[in-house]
A and B are shown apart, each in its own frame.
Chain A
Amino acid sequence: MNHPTRTRTTLIGLSAVTALTLAGCGGAATQGGGGGGGATGGPIKIGVLADLTGATGDVGTPYNEGMLAYIDWINAKGGISGRKIEADSNDYAYKVPTAEELYKKYVSSGAVAIQGWGTGDSEALRTKVAQDKLPFMSASYAEVLTDPKASPYNFVVAPTYSDQMRVALNWIAKDAGGPAEVAVFHNDSPFGTAPIGDGQKWLTEKKLGLTMSAYPMPKTPNFVGLLSQAKAKNAKYVVIQNVSSPAAQVAKDIKAQNLPMKIVCLNWCADELFIKTAGADNAEGHVLVQPFAPASANKPGNKDIEDYLKGKGSSLEAKGLHFGQGWWTMAIMAKGIEKAIKDGGNLTGESIRKGLETMDKVDTGGVVGTGEVKFSETSHRGSSGSSIYQVKGGKMVEIAANQVP
């Protein structure tokens, strides 16, 4: 015996609920790009991906702060050609799927350019930004991002990891004054292995008389095995391609075991954080290859940053050089946007890319690379030089400026 009333009631009830729900979330019909952020006027929308609480958060935080500080500073001066920058900055904690979701959000809300952060998101979004035609700058300095044929919309402001490795090897060859073994400790990831192949090629090309062996660093900070293997090969130099914390641990282990090895850090561990985490005694004497000038180098390009931070009751020394890194990366993108606006027409991702490629060289006052950053249609590598510092008395002291491979 059927109960037609009961099934009918259920049916009606469910349809009513569904209809209400659909009506409630309807009206959000395909909300496409919000007018491209105002193609001819109005704020310039930029999407910013940051790692504030993830694996690289300790350097990602000052970088993001520097970037947002620049935007704050330039907006206070009236913006770029009278148009303010509207940055949507979100923490993706180095989780690539979150970065992809945020990217989609930025695209659908009309961003004209994207500031990324790490190798993970830069890789994942490389082809997408090319197809969506949005210029992408990040703090991932991998070689592949500098080739416009492979990555047409990526721009790398600083020397690549390979460039830094070449500079490091040049310096080691000079310091060693003869054949020597170089151990390379690297992060166990594409970020870590990026400069190794090019480093080997450089050694054979330039006949530097050095031999190189690469060791991936485990996640848990136990590097005794690596050091003992390096010691067995009589390595006198340890190039580290990793972030500050594991590098600091290596420094501590070298001191504890009294090993005659000198660390040469590439940019991600060549900072004040390395000195602080290792402790000034353990870090003493080690060499840092850093394309971004720290506060202690007293470069004119850092003056605006110092003034801005003084106004906020802080200093570049306190924030660390990654603050300046973020500031200048955004500043260089701003110069590209300025050129695009000057060239006229709608402000789109494509026009900004053109602007970045055709703008005059940006004088960073000695802060980024050799001081000048220039892109072109055939090269998206902004600069290739780095300065070399040594830890003396707990501070980064410049021992070789503007070294180009």
Chain B
Amino acid sequence: MATSTGIYHRNYAAELRLRHTKAEKARLALMAVLLLSLPYILNVYWLGIVNTILIAVVGAVGLNILVGYTGQISLGQGGFLAVGAYTSGILATRSGLPVPLAILAAVLVTAGVGAFFGLPALRLKGLYLAIATLASQEIILFVVRRWTWLTEGKGYVEVHRLELFGWRVDRTMFEVQWYWILLVVAALAVYAARNLFRTSLGRSFMAVRDQDIAAEAIGVNLTRAKVTAFAVSSGFVGLAGALLAHYTETVTWERFTLDVSVLYLAMIIVGGLGRVAGSVYGAAFMMLLPAVLTEVAQRLSTVAPFLVEQLPAVKNATFGLAIIAFLLIEPRGLDRIWTRIKDYVRCWPFRY
């Protein structure tokens, strides 16, 4: 129960609940209303951008599990996205597996690959781990580019339009139908991640992040925790990759370069490390930034024509500046900013 002096619980079940106060539940309801009404408000272009945000949310949540909650720095996102995308794409098109099974297989395969590349984490920490994952990114990308069996020599994998038990995604309602699918998947992913950190496995991840030697002393099996963290995180990322393959209907290596890994890291840094909601905010922010910039540049094209002419460079510069600005001003990200706003409103007119 929420009181003016704080939130108190009378039993463990109440403590574990995801939403404690009426205000939190109300905000959740409002958010649900907003999400349900989006397809009716936005046009096709913006709905498409929202769809890419939803896929990015799944990936960002996965990365946050690894980097934010377990403290293992990873630059290998792009590679794991590629593994998920290629697995799902190839299984769905070539072996005739029904799409949900192909996606499941992609999740499992990526989790396995992730666990394998997580083995260096048992020996390395911090910067060394970051560099090892950078190497894994480049190696996976090289394999993807050179292994001609993957693309049967074509250089890219073409994935058919999503088909589930005979029902096909329609051409005219493409974005809207995909929106519902992606919304459900993203919501489940977010919920699963949030749940993970109510369990002892999740807490063991956080223990590894905060004080791994002390954690080992109290009985947390470091090997199991780290490898599981890599596996779980890669599973989420593999799911995002598989969704990407089916949504964009082509799988090319250009979508999985180091820049993509950096983009996902930027999402969770800007959003807030170690908070699932942070991943959502960060994904939305980072994917909306270029789209909003394009709109602004076009509106200002008469006043400041260089914006449109140099749009890609301006987008890159803004991306870099956003990362630096957030790190300098609010290192704990959008999630912290939102928490501060909530606290301010809640405690006003008092300071705290």
Taking beta carbons and an 8 Å cutoff, which residues of A are in contact with B? 1-3, 6-7, 10-11, 13-15, 18, 22, 25-26, 28-32, 52-54, 90-93, 95-98, 100-101, 104-105, 107-108, 120, 123-124, 126-128, 131-132, 144, 188-190, 193-194, 197
B249 touches A128 (CB 8 A): yes
Q: A22-B34, A32-B44 are in contact. Are A100 and B248 (CB under 8 A)?
A: yes
A14-B252 contact given A123-B156, A193-B155, CB 8 Å threshold: no
Using C-beta atoms within 8 Å of the partner chain, give the interface range for chain B.
35 or more
Binding site for A on B (CB under 8 A): 1-4, 21-23, 26-27, 30, 33-34, 37, 40-45, 48-49, 52, 145, 151, 153-156, 158, 161, 171, 175, 248-250, 252, 254-255, 290-291, 309-313, 345-346
Residue of B nearest to A191 (CB): B155
- What would be 5 A-B contacts, judged by CB atoms less than 8 Å apart? A32-B43, A97-B255, A98-B290, A107-B44, A123-B156
Q: Which residue of A lies closest to B3 (CB)?
A: A1
Interface pair B44/A190, CB less than 8 Å apart: no
Chain A residues in 8 Å Cβ range of B27: 14
CA distance A6 to B346 in the complex (A): 8
B2 touching A2, Cβ below 8 Å: yes
Closest to B44 in A: A108
A52 to B27, CA, bound (A): 44
**Top 7 A-B residue pairs of the complex, sorted by shortest distance between their CB atoms:** A190-B155, A93-B312, A31-B43, A108-B44, A7-B22, A124-B250, A104-B48
Closest A residue by C-beta to B342: A10
Which of A30, A92, A144 is B44 in contact with, Cβ under 8 Å? A30
Please, which residues of chain A bring their CB within 8 A of the CB of B250? 123-124, 126-127
Are B312 and A15 in contact, with the CB atoms below 8 A? no
Tell whether A11 pairs with B23 under 8 Å between CB atoms, given A6-B346, A132-B171. Answer: yes
- Find chain B residues with CB under 8 A from A13 CB: 345
Given A30-B44, A128-B249, A188-B145; A11-B26 close (CB under 8 Å): yes
Contacting residue for B41 out of A22, A91, A107, CB 8 A: A22
B311 proximity list for chain A (CB < 8 A)? 53, 90-91
Minimum CB–CB distance for B75 against chain A, Å? 19
Q: Contacts A14-B27, A22-B34: A124 and B252 contacting too (C-beta < 8 A)?
A: yes
Asked if A29 and B41 make an inter-chain contact with CB atoms under 8 angstroms apart, the answer reads yes
Nearest CB of A to B42, in Å: 7
Q: Using Cβ atoms and an 8 Å threshold, which residues of chain B touch A144?
A: 154
B216 to chain A, nearest CB (A): 42
CB distance from B44 to the nearest CB of A (A): 4
Distance A53 CA – B346 CA, assembled complex (angstroms) = 48
Residue of chain A at shortest CB distance from B27 = A14
Question: Nearest Cβ in chain B — how far from A151, in angstroms?
Answer: 11
In the assembled complex, the Cα of A222 lies from the Cα of B166 at a distance in Å of 52
B312 contacts A189, CB within 8 Å? no
Q: Which of B41, B145, B154 contacts A26 (CB 8 A)?
A: B41
For A108, the chain B residues whose CB sits under 8 A away are 43-45
Q: Which chain A residues border B290 with CB–CB below 8 Å?
A: 98
Closest CB in chain B relative to A121 CB, distance in Å: 10
Residue contact B23 to A7, C-beta cutoff 8 Å: yes
Which of B30, B153, B346 contacts A14 (CB under 8 A)?
B30
A40 smallest CB distance to B (angstroms): 22
A7-B2, A101-B48 are known; give 14 further A-B pairs, CB within 8 A: A6-B4, A7-B26, A25-B42, A29-B40, A53-B313, A96-B252, A96-B255, A101-B45, A108-B44, A123-B250, A127-B158, A128-B249, A189-B145, A190-B151
Pick the contact of B43: A6, A28, A98 (CB < 8 A).
A28
Give the docked Cα–Cα distance between A18 and B161 (Å).
Answer: 35
Which residues in A have their C-beta under 8 angstroms from that of B171?
131-132
A13 to chain B minimum Cβ distance, whole angstroms, is 8
Pairwise interchain contact B155-A25, C-beta atoms closer than 8 A? no
In the complex, what's the smallest C-beta–C-beta distance from A14 to chain B, in angstroms?
Answer: 6
Whether B249 and A25, one on each chain, are in contact in the complex, defined by CB atoms closer than 8 angstroms, is no
Contact of B249 among A30, A54, A127 (CB under 8 A): A127
Bound-complex Cα distance A282 to B253 (A): 35
Please determine whether B156 and A190 come into contact, CB atoms closer than 8 angstroms.
Answer: yes
A190 lies within 8 A of B23 (CB):
no
Asked if B43 contacts A30 (CB within 8 A), the reply is: yes
CB pair B156 A91 closer than 8 Å = no
- Cβ of A197: which chain B residues have Cβ within 8 Å of it? 153
B156 and A25 contacting across the interface, CB-CB below 8 Å: no
Once the chains are docked, how many angstroms separate the CA of A100 from the CA of B41?
22
Chain B residues in 8 Å Cβ range of A31: 43-44
The answer to whether B48 and A124 have CB atoms under 8 Å apart is no
Residues in B neighbouring A131, C-beta threshold 8 A? 161, 171
- Shortest CB distance B253–A (Å): 8
